[in-house]
Amino acid sequence: MRGNLLGIETAVVLAGGRGLRLASLTDSVPKALVRIRSRPLLEWVIQWLEKNGVRNLVIGVAYEKEKIMDSFGDGSRLGVQIKYSVHTVEGGTAEGFRRAIERHVSDRTFLAMNGDELTNLSVAKLQELHVSSGALATVAVTPFKSPFGLVRLDSNDRIVGFEEKVTIPETYVSIGVYAFEREILGYIPNRGDIERTTFPALSQAKKLQAYRHDGFWATVNNLKELQEAEENIERIFA
């Protein structure tokens, strides 16, 4: 039987990025250690995983890897067990996930994610859909909200209204959280990004599922997003 009846227990979390768009905040620390309400970004992710019963963690590290490893150690202070997998920044998410899975993951079904994603997604519900779908990978998606104000025009190009933060109907974005079967290794190249290599190949083979998440999600790529995360961080435990 696919999956674990007790739930997903293992997660691969990529935390190797430089965080270049966070400017001076990442001059001396990796993105994973940027503070949100006085605690590292990655610590919030780990606590969300622990709350969801995912306590065997493989953290992929690259840039300033020693600082991340020194900060979290074996994970015991946060109620989890952490192993580390070193990859290169240039190798992209494909190298990061491939090395981590080959070295440390024996579970048939497991969670995989980018380490800068904050969400209140239910891992149990994601796993339930993933297992029932028969897919090799399930991508959590959320409705796309335009970061720009939309301008409404009439037939004569007269402006008739404005709308802010509009949700675009039937348009979704990946939130960087996935359920994987270990067989996905056959689709992950040695280098590159899985979003441009693995997922298109799985989609063509009809082995890629989407899980619709309508709850909270935030990513931390720039100072504006960091501020928004500061304002909403408690929602990951809602």
CATH code, domain with 209: 3.90.550.10
Q: Give pLDDT, residue 166.
A: 77
As a whole number, mean pLDDT of residues 122-136 equals 97
Using alpha carbons only, what angle is made at residue 108 by residues 206 and 49, rounded to the nearest 5 degrees? 100
Full residue range of the structural domain in which residue 19 is found: 10-142+171-233
- Per-residue pLDDT tens over the stretch 162-217: 888 778 778 999 999 999 999 999 999 999 999 999 999 999 999 999 999 999 99
Q: Within a domain: residue 149?
A: no
Amino acid at 161: G
Q: In the chain, how many domains are there?
A: 1
How far is CA 202 from its chain centroid? 18
5 pLDDT exceeds 60? Answer: no
Q: Within a domain: residue 163?
A: no
Q: Within a domain: residue 94?
A: yes
4 pLDDT exceeds 70? Answer: no
Q: Please count the other Cβ atoms lying within 10 Å of the Cβ belonging to residue 198.
A: 26
Q: Within a domain: residue 178?
A: yes
115 pLDDT exceeds 90? Answer: yes
As a whole number, mean pLDDT of residues 51-77 equals 97
Q: What is the pTM of this model?
A: 0.91
Averaged confidence pLDDT in the chain: 93
